[in-house]
Amino acid sequence: MRVSIEDAVGEVRDGMTIGIGGWGSRRKPMAMVRALLRSGRKDLTLVSYGGPDVGLLVAAGCVRRIVTGFVSLDSIPLEPHFRAARSAGAVELTEYDEGMLYWGLLAAANRLPFLPIRAGLGSDVMRVNPGLRTVRSPYADATELVAMPAITMDVAFVHLNRADADGNGRYLGPDPYFDDLFCLAAKQRFLSCERIVSTGELQEQGPPQTLLTNRSMVDGVTETPHGAHFTSCVPDYGRDEEFQREYATTGWDTFRARYLDGDETDYQKAVRR
Partner 1 sequence: MSRAETCVVACAEAWRGDGAVLAGSAGVIPGLGARLAQLTFARELLVTDGEATLLRDGRVEGWLPYRQVFAIVAAGTRHVMMGASQLDRFGNQNISCVGPWERPASQLLCVRGAPGNTVNHPVSYWVPRHSPRVFVERVDMVSGVGHDRGAHEIRLVVTNLAVLDFATPDRSMRLRSVHPGVTVDEVIAATGFELTVPDQVPETREPTADEQRLIRERLDPDGRREREVR
Residue ranges binding partner 1 (CB under 8 A): 23, 50, 68-72, 77-78, 82-83, 86-87, 89, 93, 95-100, 102, 117-125, 127-128, 174-178
Output 171 or 259, the one with its CB closest to partner 1: 171
Least distance (Å) from partner 1 to the CB of residue 261? 28
C-alpha–C-alpha distance, residues 201 and 272, integer Å: 29
In the Cβ-directed half-sphere of 135, how many Cα atoms lie within 13 Å? Answer: 14
Residue of 156, 165, 234, 175 lying closest to 195 (CA atoms): 165
Nearer to partner 1, 72 or 244 (CB): 72
The gap from C-alpha 118 to its chain's centroid, in whole angstroms, comes to 24
Q: Which is nearer to partner 1, 77 or 131 (CB)?
A: 77
- Using the minimum distance from each CB to partner 1, give the nearer residue, 12 or 85: 85
At its nearest, how many Å lie between partner 1 and the CB of residue 59? 14
- Choice between 16 and 93, CB closer to partner 1: 93
1 vs 78 by CB, closer to partner 1: 78
Q: How far apart are CA 167 and CA 187, in angstroms?
A: 15
94 touches 86 (CB < 8 A) = no
Distance (Å, whole) CA 167 – CA 228? 18
**Per-residue DSSP letters for 140-196?**
TT--EEEEEEP--EEEEEEEEEEE-TTS-EE--SS--TTHHHHHHHEEEEEEEEEEE
Count the Cβ atoms, other than its own, within 10 Å of residue 141: 8
Q: CB of residue 26 vs partner 1: minimum separation in angstroms?
A: 8
- Ranges of H-type helices in the chain: 5-10, 30-39, 52-59, 80-87, 98-109, 125-128, 179-185, 199-204, 241-249, 252-259, 264-272
**Do the Cβ atoms of 263 and 38 come closer than 8 Å?**
yes
User: Least separation, in Å, of the C-beta of 69 and partner 1?
Assistant: 6
What CA–CA distance (Å, rounded) separates 200 from 53? 32
Kindly state the smallest distance separating residue 119's Cβ from partner 1, in Å. Answer: 3
- Nearer of residues 121 and 135 to partner 1, judged by Cβ: 121
